[in-house]
Structure 1
Amino acid sequence: MNLSAGCLRFSQLTLIASALVLAGCGSTPKTVQSRAPVESNTQVPVVNIDDSPESLIKKARSAWEDNHDAVQRNRYLLDAADLYLQKNESTKAQAILLSLKEDGVEEENRLRLNFLIATLYNGDDAASDDELLSLLSPLATAGDLKRRKQALRATILERKHDWTGAAEAYAESLEPSVQSVEKIWALVNHATPSQRQQAQASSATLRPYLALYDLAATEGLSPAGLSRALVQFNQVYRGHPVSEYMPASVVAGAELRTEQPREVAVLLPLSGKLGATGTTIKEGLLSAYYDQASALRAGEQPVSLNFIDTRNKTADELLNAIHGYKWVIGPLLKENVEGIMHRIPAGTHLLALNRADAVAAGDNLQGLTGNTLTSDVPSLADITEQAGNALNLQPAATSQQAFFALAPEDEATQLADYIYQNGFKAPIVVSAQNSINQRMETAFTTRWQELNGNKAQGKQVKLTTVQFTDSNSLREGITQSLDVAQSHDRIKQIEYMVNEKLYNVPRNRRDVDAIIVFASPEQTELLNPMVEASLSPFNGQTVPVFATSRSIEYDDTKNQWRDLQNVRFLDMPWMLPQHQWQTLQSRSENLWPQRSTQMSRLFAFGVDAYNLLPHMPSMMALPQTQLSGLTGTLSINTQGDVVRTLPQAVISNEAVQMLSSGKAAVPGH
């Protein structure tokens, strides 16, 4: 729907009140078609008007008949429309507002008219958010109208995922209070790093909030340090709402009682079919343990680790095994996590190595051990990566429980964030038809629809997908999705018509700007050359191919890097070149020279679990805090899930090269 002045028309008014206004004010409505408006549910401040809409309409008639005062007449009509909107009588409000828009109003009433029209159509599928925002510009300079316009802008900007823009608008429309500060604080925390960086440069209103965010992020792992920093912060920003009504999470983080783990129970499968998996994680835990022990000062006691084999143990047996421990790492299996998480004694800190309520993985998956698994043997997807959509399925965590998983869906969601935030509009998603890759495709699609939902005003955003089972179906799917097959057909038709051989190169779709791959390393090696062969060289642009860590295997020969040329992918820092743990890597390679790629990731998982444990209370209180880990930059969200932000790399000249931060890096959560 076009909300410009030339297109805002309405049907002949049948409402008695509106007809009286138009007759009395000398306005002759045009008889054109108009769609009924939707009921507005916008939560914006309302204006107090003592009269009823009907009495205001009568006053408008009198103002015109007695004095021919168009300004006063229109002011009364706007008051009436405002009251109709507040009473959710949108049809009556529409009749008045579109009549005024059609006939035109004087400058002093125009800002309010546009605001009420934006309020009327807010949430309407046919009115784009950008059109609504244009109606709210320019803002009123002061007073109630400015406050109301900012409140409406905030709801629209929040819908557009402009989190800092929404936060600024709320800050300028809401009265300072505990609730308003918490609302603004939540939006600042939800913003991407680039949004916060831009707001730091452009928004004086948000700078105190941004300063508090940086303070919580840098000092949050030390409650004592955070407490000292807040004293100085309150001196600098004395009188500001964020200082007067300090966010509860920041206060809680500063008041935490620090307690270092002394005795830790570790629940892992150390024998049976999953013994190798659990043992590798144990080796990572012990490596971190010995690194910490070597740095102890004289008189300091090392942590006591007690490993408990979870094989064939019931939930009751696991609870008995950890009785008396205040710090617990594990268990690894989802069913064990679900069996004990609601029965953990108060005061016990549980860092589970999986998430609960996960979507069950299918059979016959490729596990991280690299072996084809039969239906009675769980893959690692059934163990550490069986996370499903954690944002919706994860039960609310207690203050002592966090959930750490190498969930493939997390990487797919990160890719969707990156693709969206870097302006890609028409990606093609290519996924192998097995359970784990389909889960990643679902996670990507769900996040993509969420991010683009504001553009379609609640409608589903079309996303091109290709699913394949073998090389033939892969090639067919790629050519069809890129319209290469149709290009071949057009060439053949022209050749038939002119009876002459054409030396033309088939052209692909020009709108495709990215290829997203969810497939095994072997499948990705086949796919990438197919994509390159299917892309037309005429526009001089390349279409980047993006993948997750599950598409990369470091155990093969260098021939794989040739086939993966220009593929961008996410992976743990531990697996990428030039990371900060070179000494640990050398020691690990000397001890376990034949360790596979997948087992190396499990080793890193164990290292991070050990290092994360003592910081868990602070990180749960303050989601801004982060830990630089082998498996990614770690934080803990409000659901208690450990979030891993992974760096991005690219295959170039048959080698893995890190991409710099910023545009090339996957944004944070």
Structure 2
Amino acid sequence: MRLKLLGLMALFSLLSACSTTEKTPVVEQVKTQPKVEVDLNAQSLYQKALTKRDFDKIQLLYTARDKAIEEQDWQLVITICELLIESDGPDTVRNQLYIALAYTQQQDYHAALRTLESLNAKLTSPMHFYLHQEIYGNIYAAQALPHKAAPYYIRASETANKHQFNANKLNKSLWQVLNQLSIKQLEALNEGSSIQRGWVSLALYTQLYIGDATSLQAAINKWDYAYSNHPASFALPDDMQKIINVEPIRVNKIAVILPSNQSKQKALAQSLKAGVLAASENHPDRELHFIDSALTPEQISEQLTLLNPDFVIGPLLKANIDKLQQAGTLDAYPSMFLNTTPQALQSIDHFAFALNPEHEVTQAVYHFVNQEFKKPLVIAPGNHLGQRLANHFTNQWLEFSENEPQIGFYANKRDVQKMVRELLEVDKSKQRIREISLMFKGQLHDQPRSRRDIDAIYIIADATQTRLLKPSFDVNISPFAKRIPIFASSRSHDIKSDKTDKKDLAGLYFSEIPWMLPLTGTQQTLRSDFDEIWPERSTLEQQLFAMGFDAVQLIPHLRQLQMVPGKTLAGLTGNLTVNQDGDVERQLKWAQYREKQIVTLDIKTEKPTPLFIKNHQQETQEATL
């Protein structure tokens, strides 16, 4: 239920920002309709207009149009606006803008962009420009691109402020996207007009001081003095008060629901437990209580009733999460499930934290698109996980490119060399060499050629398989061809294997959680302590230790992170954020094998612009040449 409610609220705020239910100036409304007509719904007004002629018809159509926008009957809005345009009604540009608005609300973004771009040279009034920029912002916001939406919304806000338009819904949409930006993105926008600086500085204060009510209130008072009568002031009495009042979840007593030491998941549970304990080490007054996840929901409920914990962590397995969700066992407790949940989260204080491999595959796609790679090659095992992640890569990639990636699956270690040669078409090159050699006598100087269209390689494989794949690509890519960068997921990285062999992986880029990379400061001390106590832990067990540690570290920040989506928490498993659905999302780090060491890279992965928007932008540029 919470997912549906929050989803509908977000969708409404993002996509209905241009509704004219606000009393913005409407130049074509000549006179007020009689009350009997105004009380009719949009469809009835439209049908009545069709019975009229000339001026009376046009006037009723405008009333029906505004009523249809109010009722969010977007198909009727399009029908009426098209009829008004055909009838040469006043302000054709505004009717076309309302058509673009309706397309946006129907999620037909292609049609909305075509309409907006056809109007670029026809915006003859401030209201035209205001609506034009706002609808553009809505489209980018709907694509989860707040950094692209913000400049459009800001320009619309500047126009509304200058010409005193009522822009309540625009203000809410702009405030929402600014709260999704990181501090670095906000700082890059903190320039320009006083309207722009006022919006951005208020969003910066929110991120910098959330959780510190005294400092935040002082910053708001300073802002209010510097930006009196600013359009962002709407947020001060309500939204900002909510942020000021948000209280961290108390963590004096934590219940952790994990498999017992007698279960098959004993090693996994112990690793998670060790992470939870390590994160609580500096809190001697904190109580930790561990509950066996194999117990029935009724038994777990009894234990929770006796404990009355401030927060519950777990369970780990989806089956155990499902049974507790169905029984409503955790409904009364703030909780964090340690996996993706089979059902939607029902409580505003329920969260889900999973080491989801799709997160890093998506991150790889974003990086490839931002690097302007055109034809990536994806290598994965032919098992269920390999196919799932390769399919996820393809689906994500096709949002940004019209070229399908090349996918290669291997069955086993023996299959690797053959598969690499076939994918790079080296075998075809060798066959051509043999055919030519039969045509000529004497010694031929030959060198097999690999295909030239592949410009990036992404390996989804474990450490052993990666140590076979990387050298196979190295020897089969033509020495005179441009070197193809090779990337891998975190599955390719294994600390134990690195101790004895790194040379075959030289040059390989890979994504990884910070805990598995060279660390500094307090994290380095924690790493040293871990290696001393548990020197033989597997990669998965180390990842789960980091997950348990981050789960505890997240608790006081969960509400704040969800309220301000652009805010992040640096964790052992990545930079952590919380989306509106309560899911913890991770951004991993990039690293590279260089000679005999691993170097962490400062690569920021930002969601690229979808293909359909880029195509529209290119078409517009070509049309202006």
TM band (smaller chain) = 0.7 to 0.9
Cα distance in 1 for partners of 2:537, 2:297 equals 32
Cα distance in 2 for partners of 1:132, 1:512 equals 36
Cα distance in 1 for partners of 2:480, 2:322 equals 55
1:154-190 residue CA offsets vs partner (Å, 9 max, x unmatched):
3555577653343332344475555322322333345
Equivalent residue number for residue 432 of structure 1: 381
Cα distance in 1 for partners of 2:101, 2:287 equals 62
Q: Partner amino acid for 1:414?
A: Q
Matching of residue 468 in structure 1 with residue 450 in structure 2 = no
Q: Partner amino acid for 1:262?
A: N
Cα distance in 2 for partners of 1:558, 1:246 equals 55
1:355-396 residue CA offsets vs partner (Å, 9 max, x unmatched):
211xxxxxxxxxxxxxxxxxxxxxxxxxxxxxxxxxxxx614
1:133-161 residue CA offsets vs partner (Å, 9 max, x unmatched):
76554574742332343244335555776
Equivalent residue number for residue 403 of structure 1: 352
Q: 1:42: Cα distance to partner?
A: 11
The 3-state SS of whatever aligns with 1:292 is coil
- Structure 2's unaligned 5+ residue stretches are 1-14, 21-25, 31-48, 59-74, 158-164, 609-625
Query: How high is the sequence identity, in percent, across the aligned residues?
Result: 27
The 3-state SS of whatever aligns with 2:355 is coil
CA 1:204 to 1:435, structure 2 compared with 1: closer, same or farther past 3 Å? farther
The 3-state SS of whatever aligns with 1:584 is helix
CA contact (8 A) 1:409 1:439 kept: no
The one of 213, 216, 222 equivalent to 1:232 is 222
CA contact (8 A) 2:381 2:411 kept: yes
The one of 129, 132, 155 equivalent to 1:146 is 129
Equivalent residue number for residue 547 of structure 2: 605
The 3-state SS of whatever aligns with 1:416 is helix
Cα distance in 2 for partners of 1:572, 1:548 equals 10
Equivalent residue number for residue 317 of structure 1: 299
1:289-344 residue CA offsets vs partner (Å, 9 max, x unmatched):
22333xxxxxxxx111112222x311221122112223112122222222224625
CA contact (8 A) 1:319 1:340 kept: no
RMSD of the TM alignment (CA)? 4.2
Q: Partner amino acid for 1:260?
A: R
Q: Partner amino acid for 1:281?
A: L
The one of 455, 465, 485 equivalent to 1:544 is 485
Equivalent runs, 1:131-280 vs 2, <5 Å: 135-137=118-120, 140=123, 142-155=125-138, 157-158=140-141, 163-173=146-156, 177-190=167-180, 196=186, 198-200=188-190, 206-246=196-236, 250-258=240-248, 260-271=250-261, 272-280=263-271
Q: 1:650: Cα distance to partner?
A: 0.6
CA 1:42 to 1:329, structure 2 compared with 1: closer, same or farther past 3 Å? closer
Cα distance in 2 for partners of 1:129, 1:493 equals 56
TM-score normalised by structure 2 residue count: 0.73
Cα distance in 1 for partners of 2:440, 2:348 equals 75
- Structure 1's unaligned 5+ residue stretches are 1-40, 60-83, 98-108, 294-301, 358-393
Out of 524-533 and 250-259, give the one that drifted further: 250-259
The 3-state SS of whatever aligns with 1:624 is coil
Q: Partner amino acid for 2:127?
A: D
Q: Partner amino acid for 2:322?
A: E
Q: Partner amino acid for 2:337?
A: A
The one of 530, 535, 549 equivalent to 2:472 is 530
The one of 316, 330, 334 equivalent to 1:332 is 316
Cα distance in 1 for partners of 2:455, 2:85 equals 41
Cα distance in 1 for partners of 2:418, 2:547 equals 38
Equivalent residue number for residue 573 of structure 1: 514
Equivalent runs, 1:338-349 vs 2, <5 Å: 338-341=322-325, 343-344=328-329, 348-349=333-334
1:212-240 residue CA offsets vs partner (Å, 9 max, x unmatched):
33323222243444344333333333322
Q: Partner amino acid for 1:562?
A: K
Matching of residue 658 in structure 1 with residue 607 in structure 2 = no
Q: 1:587: Cα distance to partner?
A: 2.0
1:36-90 residue CA offsets vs partner (Å, 9 max, x unmatched):
xxxxx9996797657999969xx9xxxxxxxxxxxxxxxxxxxxxxxx9964389
The 3-state SS of whatever aligns with 1:88 is helix
The 3-state SS of whatever aligns with 1:625 is coil
The 3-state SS of whatever aligns with 2:496 is coil
Higher helix proportion: 2
Greater length-normalized contact order (CA 8 Å, ≥ 6 residues apart) = 2
CA contact (8 A) 1:607 1:630 kept: yes
Aligned length: 537
CA contact (8 A) 1:516 1:545 kept: yes
The 3-state SS of whatever aligns with 2:497 is coil
Cα distance in 2 for partners of 1:486, 1:188 equals 53
Q: 1:466: Cα distance to partner?
A: 1.3
Q: 1:544: Cα distance to partner?
A: 1.7
CA contact (8 A) 1:601 1:631 kept: yes
The 3-state SS of whatever aligns with 1:322 is helix
CA 1:481 to 1:317, structure 2 compared with 1: closer, same or farther past 3 Å? same
Cα distance in 2 for partners of 1:564, 1:532 equals 10
Q: Partner amino acid for 1:588?
A: F
Cα distance in 1 for partners of 2:451, 2:108 equals 29
1:259-289 residue CA offsets vs partner (Å, 9 max, x unmatched):
5322221111122211221112112221222
Q: 1:637: Cα distance to partner?
A: 1.3
Cα distance in 1 for partners of 2:107, 2:259 equals 54
